[in-house]
Structure 1
Amino acid sequence: MNSQSKRRFNASLHAAGISLAIFYSCSAIAASSGAGASAGGGRQTGGQSPTVTITVSPKKQAAASAYWTRQRVADAPALAFAIDTGSGAIDAAALDEIAALGPEEAVPAGAAAPGATDLARAAFAADWDALAESEALDSDLSTESPTDFMAGTAGVYMSWDVGTVTALATVYPHRWMGKLTFNVPGGGASCSATAISGNNIVTAAHCVYDSTANTWYSNWVFTPAYRNGTAPYGTFSAKACTILTSWMNLTGSYSINTWTRHDVAVCSMNNNSAGQTLNAAVGSAGRLWNASNTQIVFNSGYPAQDYNLASIPSPAQYLRACVAETFLQTTDTLGMGCNWGPGISGGSWLVGYKPTVVSGQTNSVNSGLYVGQQNMYGARFNSNNIVPLCTARGC
């Protein structure tokens, strides 16, 4: 990476108003729960289609909303991460490939409906009061300026604990991100997800369907702008979730170089208890696909552990992020430097991040990592993954 690229990276961060410190480790505590398999209680469709959908019955939708109280959302442990035991070596042959999937395309971000926050404040007053009361205890962002470094390089990133700042919890684009909770055979589990158009969320397929055991999880509920037990916009249960048939057909053990490109899911969500649709309540992140392999991204979610699988303080309670430039790991699989681990699964990689501005497009979601390596990997959104998923779900 030349000096011009480095200047471009830092200039983009400064333009977005970001002033962050670099961290290369996290403190350690306990581990998170594992994932089993459970039939999701719905109808499967697909056959030879590029996608497969599970439809959740109205009865199960209502049961999921009732089950996922604020306390249960807070207590849900992170789903065991997709772990690759390999070396993490970049697939050199893929670096010379030219993806012939069509031109770069994008869907812009969307704002919430007028008056949505006032409605949410009235409907979920206790959550907003809890956010206000916690301001005195908040940490603040570092005033240290970004350090000049080689962007687009494995293990290089800026780590940001976004969620400890209450003032940022409900502003764009953070209000689009949230905690995804659901049931696995051992109980509750959590991943991360992001609101997109059509009242949908985008997340990782491994948060929806267990390819190893060949079964669906169940009772998905999305809590946007979640922060330490509060749900300022309420919760939204899933009506249907769609994964790629190629994800369902995978066998054996997870591999970043062969599984990650398929690890994307889209779920359609119900209204919250105040009657708001997801997009009316919080708006929607945009989408970017068939784009360059090199993008500056804001990667965020609700991790419970770090890259060494050591628990972090307040696991899965706060939105945390990494900012880095992506690199091509292998065919349609991106890598980026990051120090987070389990719980951040399904969190989006946002291009064009700007705090407090309705701006940003998802171009990947967190899939997996190599334990001990400070990198995260995700599918490069393209015509073969996000497009058929959104076609099925009406993004």
Structure 2
Amino acid sequence: MTVREAAVAGAVLAVLAVLAAGGCTTAAGPGGATPTVSSQSASAPADTHGWTAQRLRGALAKRPGVTRTAKATVQNGLVGAVFTRNADGDHFCTASVVDSAGLNLIVTAAHCVWDPGLGQRSDLVFVPGYRDGETPSGVWPLLAVSVDQAWKDDADPDVDVAFAVVQPQGGRQVQQVLGANRLGVDRGYRLPVKVTGYPGAADVPITCGNTTSEQSPTQLRIDCPDWTGGTSGSPWVTDFDPDTRTGTVVGVIGGYQEGGDSPDTSYSSYFGDRVQALYDRATG
């Protein structure tokens, strides 16, 4: 970590400490598994993109029209951090449980699990409900990953979505333990959603609520102030039922610019026929 990265990481953690003590809430955002200049990645312990002193001060002021919470309880553990090998290292992406006949499926961004130049990333694990080093719902290794051929060949941003089968633990599948969100396909471009994910510089999940809009016919966007690196794959959930604590996932942070190169706007590939076909292949 460079001196600048360390300084920014310290500032981010200081903000999070203020939040934990009862201050205003903040957020951190789109993350990729591989650092690039334009994408908001968080394969390092802290991602500096967007965290100027002014942004850090602004993160403490809640902006109108957007709801943000430091304790992302709305998903009841369906959302988890993605690590390499185990939960002792750095988490770099987010995933969530999605309903399937096998009761064993998660959804995330394709760029979190598959490098078009190298293939599937190995030794990845899903840690639902991760918080402050604790793994309350276990560590679930990824067994099989399904991504669209257009992502494998050309990193097509319109299919920056992946489904992964996770290994059962203690004789039970992940959906049996946690429940699951439904998959929402062709739900349109304007939907009220909550986006929950794990910032690369924090060990607790955060949530932003807002209404999506059309970036293009194949991309959704959402405005969530001050989302920096580390949360690619975070689910966009609509129709949330507070009784079951589940809803319908209609996007994941990814797609255009692998989720966005601005900390205030995030993107998702539109969940249409291609995502449905990918889901069918993953569960077939």
Q: Which amino acid aligns with 1:268?
A: V
Q: Which residue of 1 aligns with 2:71?
A: 162
State the shift of 1:379 in Å. Answer: 1.0
Q: Which residue of 2 aligns with 1:363?
A: 250
The DSSP-based 3-state class of the residue aligned with 2:203 is: coil
Q: Find 1:334's aligned residue among 210, 220, 224.
A: 220
Native 8 Å contact 1:180 1:192 kept in 2: yes
Q: Which amino acid aligns with 2:68?
A: S
Aligned ranges 1:66-105 → 2 under 5 Å: 77=44
CA separation of 1:220 and 1:26: change in aligned 2, threshold 3 A = closer
Say which one has the larger Rg: 1
CA separation of 1:298 and 1:277: change in aligned 2, threshold 3 A = same
For residues 241 and 390 of structure 1, the distance between their equivalents in structure 2, rounded to whole angstroms, comes to 11
CA separation of 1:244 and 1:26: change in aligned 2, threshold 3 A = closer
CA separation of 1:380 and 1:193: change in aligned 2, threshold 3 A = same
Q: Which amino acid aligns with 2:176?
A: A
Is 1:236 matched up with 2:140?
Answer: yes
Normalised by the length of structure 2, the TM-score is: 0.72
Native 8 Å contact 1:22 1:159 kept in 2: no
The DSSP-based 3-state class of the residue aligned with 1:352 is: strand
State the shift of 1:232 in Å. Answer: 1.1
List alignment gaps of at least 5 residues for structure 2.
Answer: 1-22, 36-42, 51-61
CA separation of 1:226 and 1:34: change in aligned 2, threshold 3 A = closer
State the shift of 1:174 in Å. Answer: 2.8
CA separation of 1:373 and 1:342: change in aligned 2, threshold 3 A = closer
Could you give the per-residue CA deviations for residues 51-83 of structure 1, whole angstroms, max 9, x where no partner exists? xxxxxxxxxxxxxxxxxxxxxxxxx84697999
Q: Which amino acid aligns with 1:200?
A: L
State the shift of 1:216 in Å. Answer: 2.3
CA separation of 1:301 and 1:33: change in aligned 2, threshold 3 A = closer
Identity of aligned residues (%): 22
Could you give the per-residue CA deviations for residues 135-171 of structure 1, whole angstroms, max 9, x where no partner exists? xxxxxxxxx9x94x4xxxxxxx3322124xxxx4xxx
Q: Which residue of 2 aligns with 1:379?
A: 269
TM superposition outliers: structure 1 runs of 4+ over 6 Å: 78-83
Instruction: Report how many aligned residue pairs link the two structures.
Output: 232
Aligned ranges 1:180-259 → 2 under 5 Å: 180-182=82-84, 189-198=91-100, 199-211=104-116, 213-250=117-154, 259=156
List alignment gaps of at least 5 residues for structure 1.
Answer: 1-20, 37-75, 84-143, 150-156, 252-258, 305-314
Aligned ranges 1:276-315 → 2 under 5 Å: 276-304=172-200, 315=201
Q: Which amino acid aligns with 1:35?
A: T
Native 8 Å contact 1:286 1:361 kept in 2: yes
* RMSD of aligned residue pairs (Cα, Å): 3.2
State the shift of 1:279 in Å. Answer: 0.8
Is 1:35 matched up with 2:34?
Answer: yes
Is 1:265 matched up with 2:152?
Answer: no
Native 8 Å contact 1:22 1:158 kept in 2: no
State the shift of 1:356 in Å. Answer: 5.1
